[in-house]
Chains A and B, each alone.
Chain A
Amino acid sequence: MSAQFLHNLLLFGRVLRRLGLDINPGRMMDLVSALDHIEIGRKSDFFYSARALLVHEREDLLLFDEAFELFWRKPAESWEVEWQGLTRRRRPSEPVVTHPALKEAAPQTNDSASTSTESMTVVEVTRTYSNREILRHKNFAEMNTEESEAVKQMMAHLLWKVSERRTRRKRPGKGHLIDLRRTLRRSLRSEGEIFRWSYREPKFKPRSLVVIADISGSMERYTRLLLHFIYGMKAALNQPVEAFVFSTRLTRITRPLQIRDLDLALKNVGQLVNDWAGGTRIGESLKTFNFEWGRRVLGRAAVVLIISDGWDRGDVELLKQEMSRLKRNCYRLIWLNPLLGAPDYEPLTRGIQAALPHIDHFLPVHNLASLEDLANRLAGLDTPSRRF
């Protein structure tokens, strides 16, 4: 292997890493030693070897293919232009731009003066018990900036817990399954006479949670706080939480939400989603979810939260069908509707009417108190002895 080739290979690795692929020096070493076994001259063999060693997610295959094609092509004329096209599509591991919809709404954190006054008002708003009580019951849509900042802080203190599912894993305990291993071990102390049986019991684990949130135009006043709520819930829970948003199409936001820094995470979400405040096609979006993600994220009896006001401009029949499919594939289907908080609201829109028969719990999500209710509800889904 020529020094020049090795140099290019390492450069290629750096390029892939910049595109967000999970490349480390170990993998590059593996690739170098793999090349001893193949004919490097044969491009397709080199390509497949590099791909087998450097990619381990199906989602990254296409990106790899394009990067490979671009990098290992001989003349490098229009390289720059195409390169930029490629970086724009990379996985969102770091933020590039802030989407206007979020930027406009977000507090200006880089201005020190405004930050300090803001935090002062936040303190002001939440200082007394009665103020907190008023805030707890105030509709998200009617809050001013200070109040919504205060609520975000209060949100961070919510305790999230999803009720547990009996897994098929067993561990020593008080169950009714005899643990022969331990029984025998114990019997040896009394020369093989069994005086006491040991037992095993099933291990319990919290159910996984899937959140599918509507970010269409009619939900705009709630979107920002609800994203905070989803982020907070995901950060607080130990089990997997999958998050998706939709207006006209579905976007998975699980990865960007994993970042520790909340503002950065929300920025990344903003960058990833390109149909903020658009129209609503709930049926279409749920179909995408069912077809592309359902089988991957609904295993092991997950709990699904749909957050939407149910204003749907799509096909109602499709919505019905996909709701029923979703219902059959999850443990509990919970629909959170911000409008349900209004005293005179009745679920009459076609979308909601189509969805209602398939929903286990139809709950409001318009203020902090409703989130607290939700937290209690999620913690108590499995009490007592319901289906597993």
Chain B
Amino acid sequence: MDFTSIDALQSAMREKRYIAERGLATSLYLALKLGRPLFLEGEAGVGKTEVAKVIASLLDTELIRLQCYEGLDVHHAVYEWNYTRQMMHIRLLEARGDKVSEAELFGEEFLLRRPLLQAIEGSKQKPPVLLIDEIDRSDEEFEAFLLEVLSDFQITIPEIGTIKTSNPPVVIITSNRTREVHDALKRRCLYYWIDYPSFEKELEIVQTQLPHAPAQLARQITGFIQALREMDLYKLPGVAETLDWTTALVALDQRALDPVIVDETLGAVLKYQDDVEKVKGDQARLILERVKAGID
């Protein structure tokens, strides 16, 4: 699908149940038009990874995901040789009394394609969406390598040759900022910071994602979460937590929030014991009263 305007992209995303702000839609639209990677930053659980999934589904193409971690190297990001098969092959030839030829042993059938290679090879038919998830978890060595790949979309495998594409994949990079990512990499991308959504937007997300949730419950949960984000907590709840909590309460057949159920299920929202203790009991009741007075 080719998008003719930002509006078209925004409403197409909405149809896929992703409520994108204008700024995000604009950045994504330009990333597609300019063929540049999109660098998404934001707190955990604001829907960064979802963007990649939605855009892959909209473009009706494959989503290739590379989860980053410290020590991620060429063998896990680009390609690896299938050693077990190679060794079997050697033994097989030996049994037959044949000699091993290196060219044969390092041929395509022994090549294991990892995400970056898959993305570049796949681009020859139809450019996939390449999601480089949580780049902040990788290290400087991988960042430097990635910078190279993103600048010319080509990979050299000594035994096979250079594989490149003139039609690069759509690249989405996400970061939770647990480490500062190098400027050089960010400079190559379009940058967008995904903030926590407003009450209206968050309610819309809940209603779109969980249409079965009772309207009153959805409003109260959203109000409650929004109030928590105003508090001095170590880890603020993201949209993912809002959705988790709603799902949990729907499963418990709740139609509205009450102090007891809030205390019992607070663990779905707050992930640090200090935070749970701070909110549980009086504070939770207070927020609940305010929320109910404010939105009902």
| B-binding residues in A (CB < 8 A) | 22, 24, 27, 30, 33-34, 37-39, 44-45, 48-49, 51-53, 55-58, 61, 167-170, 180-181, 184, 187-188, 191-192, 203, 240, 290-291, 295-296, 299-300, 321, 325
Cβ-closest chain A residue relative to B39: A56
Identify 5 new A-B residue pairs, CB closer than 8 A, beyond the known A192-B90, A192-B91.
A167-B70, A181-B83, A184-B87, A296-B179, A300-B179
Residue contact B34 to A30, C-beta cutoff 8 Å? yes
Residue contact B33 to A34, C-beta cutoff 8 Å? yes
| A-binding residues in B (CB < 8 A) | 5-6, 22-23, 26-27, 29-30, 33-34, 36, 39, 41, 69-71, 73, 75, 80-81, 83, 86-87, 90-91, 93-94, 99-100, 102, 105, 136, 139, 141, 177-180, 183, 186-187, 189-193, 232, 234, 274
User: In the complex, what distance in Å separates the CA atom of A299 from the CA atom of B175?
Assistant: 14
**Which 10 residue pairs of A and B lie closest in terms of their CB atoms, listed nearest first?**
A168-B71, A192-B90, A48-B26, A169-B71, A56-B186, A52-B27, A180-B83, A56-B191, A52-B190, A48-B23
Cβ-closest chain A residue relative to B38: A52
B39 surroundings in chain A (CB, below 8 A)? 56
**Chain B min CB distance to A296 (Å):** 5
User: In the complex, what distance in Å separates the CA atom of A170 from the CA atom of B41?
Assistant: 28
Report which of A38, A58, A191 forms a contact with B30, defined as CB distance below 8 A.
A38
Residue contact B6 to A299, C-beta cutoff 8 Å? no
A-B interface pairs (CB < 8 A), number: 109
Known: A184-B81, A300-B179. Is A37-B30 also a contact (CB below 8 A)? Answer: yes
User: In the complex, what distance in Å separates the CA atom of A299 from the CA atom of B94?
Assistant: 50
User: In the complex, what distance in Å separates the CA atom of A187 from the CA atom of B83?
Assistant: 12
User: In the complex, what distance in Å separates the CA atom of A27 from the CA atom of B33?
Assistant: 15
B191 surroundings in chain A (CB, below 8 A)? 51-53, 55-56
**Chain A min CB distance to B73 (Å):** 7
User: In the complex, what distance in Å separates the CA atom of A69 from the CA atom of B75?
Assistant: 48
A24 surroundings in chain B (CB, below 8 A)? 187
B177 surroundings in chain A (CB, below 8 A)? 58, 295-296
User: In the complex, what distance in Å separates the CA atom of A181 from the CA atom of B141?
Assistant: 20
**Chain A min CB distance to B141 (Å):** 6
User: In the complex, what distance in Å separates the CA atom of A45 from the CA atom of B30?
Assistant: 10
**Chain A min CB distance to B97 (Å):** 12
